Structure 1
Amino acid sequence: MADWQTLADKVRHQTRLSHAEALSLAELSSEHDDELLALAGNLRDAGFRNVVTYSRKVFLPLTHLCRDVCHYCTFAKTPKRIDSPYLSVDQVLDSVREAEKMGCKEALLTLGEKPELRYKAAREALADMGFATTLEYVAHVAKRILDETSLLPHINAGCMTAEEIAMLRPVSASMGIMLESASERLAEKGMPHYGSPDKDPAIRLETLRLAGEARVPFTSGILIGIGETRRERIESLLALRDVHEQHGHLQEIIVQNFRAKPDTKMAQAPEPDLQELLWTIAVCRLIFGSNMSIQAPPNLSPGVLEKIVGAGINDWGGVSPLTPDFVNPEAPWPHLDELSRETAVAGKYLQERLTIYPSYVTRFADWLAPELHEHVLSITDAEGFPRVDSWLTGQHTELPAEDLRWLGADVAEARVSPEIKDILARAMAGEALPEGDVVRLFQSRGPDFSAVIRAADSIRQAVCGERVSYVVNRNINYTNICYFKCQFCAFSKGKLSENLRGKPYDLSAEEIARRCSEAWDRGATEVCMQGGIHPEYTGQTYLDILATVRAATPDMHIHAFSPLEVWQGAATLGLEVETFLKQLKQAGLNTLPGTAAEILDDEVRAIICPDKIDTQQWLGVMEAAHNVGLRSTATIMFGHVDRLEHWARHLLRVRSLQARTGGFTEFVPLPFVASEAPVYLKGKARRGPTFRESVLMHAVARLVFNGLISNIQASWVKLGHNGVEACLNAGVNDVGGTLMNETITRAAGATHGQETSPQQMDALIRAMQREPQQRTTLYQAVSEERQQAARQAGALLDVVNTPAKKYERERGRKKVLVKNAGSELIASS
């Protein structure tokens, strides 16, 4: 055999083992078993960190009839031993709806192999229902599940043709077939697969190959202890690796241990012992490397789950809180609380997944039929795991108890991943983290999540102490007309949007001045002004707005104009951006909001705002602003079509600019509000970030910007007051503005209101045992006169949204026409 130390070194360096090297493991002496298991465990950690997953499912035995006669199986039955050849659609849907109430997200459809080829009862039952084959009925049932419930079907349909796979792909998120063994010897007379034509390894491998060609996320694996040798096991695993390397579609490999069952030909056959199972799991990990999900069913090995984790698995498979394991009815599923505890004893965090694994969810366009895209996106987070609570950005919902538990947990250092401890140490020392480390922080779950939150808050305490600041300000959005077609925006006027967001308006100078004066009288120190990109606005429009505000309120701090508006204004005047910024500053502009950033990665911008300024243009405007002495905020709008690497790149690009200019006063995470956003309504985006992701964005920002940006702000409009309170324990030291009028987020469907008074801000902050501090836009002290005015403010007068006037403007080859008030925006090329 190949030298063991040579093989071990290749594994440590994550180098692929050749066929010959893998096969030599069959001869490995037992004296190396401990080292083998340790290598496998380390390899698993490199790919899956501290997470072990499971799928919360309902097990649906659509038919127990099967034309095969495997000698160890009790699932397959003859027509005389069952009440009905098939479950009815109503029976299936009743079970699925009950499972839905229990939080299940996978509907596992299991059946025997093509029973209609053996049993007249199957053919007649199918004919009565209007189907010619079992798989046609499977497709019908799966579609009903998709159409009428929130669960995703996973279909274990046995051997299939290309046409059958194509029929099932639009109604299932994943499929599977156990190879069991590639050994033809096991199909000989006297062996367990004798008399079972569908257990021919060549036929099963052909199904696997066809599934790969069809781009179906697929499950397979081996069954050990049915008479195969160790070498045959490895040959089976290599056969699976070969087909996976051609197509990349195997999302998990199951290592299942044989359990002897009464009333079968193998009832007295010896079961594989624990060491044999552990050895096989470890060898499987070495063959497939760090990134393949490897599963072992927990109900088949009770009492030794810690050892199974140690051997290199990262998944427990499907676990049902409702139905038994119909394939192994003698082995009940572990209770999920118990499974979580046993996983924690093994040093891992139990995380729910969908039937389709996260790495395939994040590439859904490649791996899922279009019919499934909207369904999957609506129930997943940025990493491809399922949303497991009802929290949504901008809505009045309870904070998730599981996240709050970890948010406040005092986790022992020993439970935190070594990798996370190393990254946190470097971040707290002010080092610039590489992209991979920032992504790793965003992946934190369980004890790692607690550690990240704790580290971020310790920096907050060191930099900001117990003070929590806010500014008394007013938002003024001077027009909701915009010729850009940003797919996340529910504020700007567009075709068919009037009933959702009101009529087109373009504020008059008088109304802008009135709002500024009212804001000053109510104690404001800042007006924050942004709007849609009106086709008739030029750079002079923005200069005129500044003149209006400055005349009405000479001492008001004007925080206005996104980088997009600055870019557009400069372009309309034929000026360089820096020249236009100098004009804006001279006209009274004090600082810029860091909006229009969304995600500073052009892969994302091409989807959500393709006609907007790109990443480098946004950064260029901000650098120019800082160079002329205008400071700004920085934002990120996250939780739509973006992934963790996009978040990391955004933070690092902001950090890099801050290291050069020092011009950012604060960083403001803005969780995506989905409910009225076009990209979500079209089924092309997630429902916003999860609560955990929202908290992490603030904490990771604090860590990434350590030593460069002192202020991390939480948006009460997006998070609600209770969400802000949670973020105050995760590195946040500022709660933004009182706002007076908030329109953009409410237009997107948020319900948290349009103003939080200074008294409410103070109460919120003091409830967290922190010290409230009213501040200016530039984080300076506010005069006593301004504070008194803010606390004595009367009710806001009703705003007047000046109706838009008719206009027509040529923009190159595009003409944009807006009719009189009450009309819609019509764009034509």
Structure 2
Amino acid sequence: MSAQVSASVGCRTVTYSPAYTLVPTYECFNRCAYCNFRRDPGKDAWLTIQAAEEALRSLQHQGSGIGGQGAGIGMIEILILSGEVHPQSTRRAAWFEHIYALCELALSLGFLPHTNVGPLSFQEMQRLKAVNVSMGLMLEQITPMLLDTVHRFAPSKVPELRLQQLVWAGELQIPFTTGLLVGIGETAADRLETLNAIAQIHQQWGHIQEVIIQPYSPGQEEAWHHKECSPEELIEVLAIARQVLPEDITLQVPPNLVQNSIHLLACLDAGARDLGGIGPRDEVNPDYPHPVEAELASILQTAGWQLAPRLPIYPQYDRWLAEPLRNRVMEWRLRIQPAYSMS
């Protein structure tokens, strides 16, 4: 069971993060074959601070699923999710400062930022630590074989580059989320190698709070159009991940990509205990809308599970935050506590 969950709820609890996504830009110098997110560099207008502020202020007056109906929680997490500007681009510095400004804006309006914008330099990660309660980067798969297939035109998907991010996050004491993308041409041995790499890095630094097991799900904009990852395959990988990864890492599965309730419940039986960010739109998988929290809670309740909101940082990592961030997190913890006692 995730340490995020209050003991008063019992052992049959599944968490989720009430989350809203801000996309600084969809432009990306990578061209992953299965991507439904990116646009060509120079062909996307960046999100303005003014537009972001309008969106976030509107959230302050809205409820969000269980929290909105019960404790008036609303959105907690602001996910800063961006396409990647090349590290050598003359626009890289402006892109990074824009991301930093969006994090500052989210904090100023009472939200908790979580940034996932592709590989960053050590210095960039160090700066963002000051305005984020957690950060993330999907490993996907660490086999170099994919550099000849789905990652052929994706320079930042070099496995060593992404593994370095996990190490730097540990050195910087950044609570971190990573994960596997399952069904993009990897083998069972490749998946095991990726899980073992995550486990080894976590054992050194103790900073990986979540691992997402995400099934490949075809979308309308991608170039690959491969067969989707089957529910049975996903459940098998979840069970293996639970055996390989340390117990203090929570397994996460996205419910909008596991649309059959029987399969979703089987994912929980295999070890998943978190459903990730649930909000108005899944920017990475726009063809798969997020479920309504109340409906999702009802499905889970019939099988003896309770859905509870959480923060984008787990309690054991609060001590890693600078005091201003830690104070904001503690305010949220007091605010969501009643939701853990809801029936």
The verdict on a shared fold, with TM-score over 0.5 as the criterion, is yes
Q: Hey, what's the Cα distance between the residues in 2 that align with 1:184 and 1:99?
A: 42
Match of 2:68 in 1: none
1:110 to 63, 67, 81: 81
2:170 to 212, 228, 233: 212
1:317 to 251, 270, 276: 276
- What are the superposed Cα offsets for residues 677-728 of structure 1, whole Å, 9 maximum, x if unpaired? xxxxxxxxxxxxxxxxxxxxxxxxxxxxxxxxxxxxxxxxxxxxxxxxxxxx
Q: Hey, what's the Cα distance between the residues in 2 that align with 1:139 and 1:376?
A: 19
Correspondences of 1:150-165 after superposition (within 5 Å)? 150-165=110-125
2:230 to 256, 267, 273: 273
Correspondences of 1:286-435 after superposition (within 5 Å)? 286-303=243-260, 304-320=263-279, 323-360=280-317, 364-365=318-319, 367-381=320-334, 387=336
Match of 1:194 in 2: 152
Q: Hey, what's the Cα distance between the residues in 2 that align with 1:193 and 1:117?
A: 20
State the TM-score, normalizing by the size of structure 1.
0.38
Runs of 4+ in 1 over 4 A off after TM superposition: 115-118, 444-447
> Residue 164 of structure 1 aligns to which amino acid in structure 2?
E
Deviation at 1:100, TM superposition (A): 2.7
Match of 2:58 in 1: 98
Identity across aligned pairs (percent)? 34
Whether 1:180 and 2:140 are equivalent positions in the alignment is: yes
Q: Give secondary structure in 2 for the equivalent of 1:253.
A: strand
Match of 1:63 in 2: 25
Deviation at 1:90, TM superposition (A): 1.2
Match of 1:134 in 2: 95
Whether 1:146 and 2:98 are equivalent positions in the alignment is: no
Structure 2 CA distance for partners of 1:388 and 1:88, relative to 1, 3 Å? farther
Match of 2:212 in 1: 254
Residues 105, 152 of structure 1: 8 Å contact kept:
yes
Match of 2:71 in 1: none
Deviation at 1:145, TM superposition (A): 1.6
Q: Hey, what's the Cα distance between the residues in 2 that align with 1:337 and 1:89?
A: 32
Q: Hey, what's the Cα distance between the residues in 1 that align with 2:288 and 2:302?
A: 22
Q: Which has the higher contact order (CA 8 A, sep 6+)?
A: 2
Unaligned runs of 5+ in 2: 2-6, 64-73
Q: Give secondary structure in 2 for the equivalent of 1:387.
A: helix
Q: Give secondary structure in 1 for the equivalent of 2:333.
A: coil
Q: Hey, what's the Cα distance between the residues in 2 that align with 1:207 and 1:242?
A: 14
State the TM-score, normalizing by the size of structure 2.
0.89
> Residue 336 of structure 2 aligns to which amino acid in structure 1?
R
Q: Hey, what's the Cα distance between the residues in 1 that align with 2:140 and 2:59?
A: 29
Q: Hey, what's the Cα distance between the residues in 2 that align with 1:202 and 1:64?
A: 24
1:88 to 45, 48, 55: 48
Query: Pairwise CA RMSD of aligned residues?
Result: 2.1
Q: Give secondary structure in 1 for the equivalent of 2:19.
A: strand
Unaligned runs of 5+ in 1: 1-39, 41-45, 127-131, 390-401, 403-443, 448-829
Q: Hey, what's the Cα distance between the residues in 2 that align with 1:214 and 1:371?
A: 17
> Residue 70 of structure 1 aligns to which amino acid in structure 2?
C
2:179 to 221, 225, 228: 221
Deviation at 1:116, TM superposition (A): 7.0
- What are the superposed Cα offsets for residues 251-298 of structure 1, whole Å, 9 maximum, x if unpaired? 10000000112242212x111111100000111111114332100000
Deviation at 1:370, TM superposition (A): 2.6
Structure 2 CA distance for partners of 1:245 and 1:315, relative to 1, 3 Å? same
Report the structure number with the largest CA radius of gyration: 1
Q: Hey, what's the Cα distance between the residues in 1 that align with 2:211 and 2:277?
A: 13
Residues 310, 336 of structure 2: 8 Å contact kept:
no
Q: Give secondary structure in 1 for the equivalent of 2:232.
A: helix
Correspondences of 1:504-583 after superposition (within 5 Å)? none
Deviation at 1:81, TM superposition (A): 5.1
Correspondences of 1:528-677 after superposition (within 5 Å)? none
Match of 2:131 in 1: 171
Residues 65, 115 of structure 1: 8 Å contact kept:
no
Deviation at 1:326, TM superposition (A): 1.1
Correspondences of 1:460-475 after superposition (within 5 Å)? none
Q: Give secondary structure in 2 for the equivalent of 1:63.
A: coil
Deviation at 1:63, TM superposition (A): 0.7
Match of 2:67 in 1: none
Deviation at 1:446, TM superposition (A): 5.0
Residues 176, 220 of structure 1: 8 Å contact kept:
yes
Q: Hey, what's the Cα distance between the residues in 2 that align with 1:74 and 1:151?
A: 27
Structure 2 CA distance for partners of 1:298 and 1:175, relative to 1, 3 Å? same
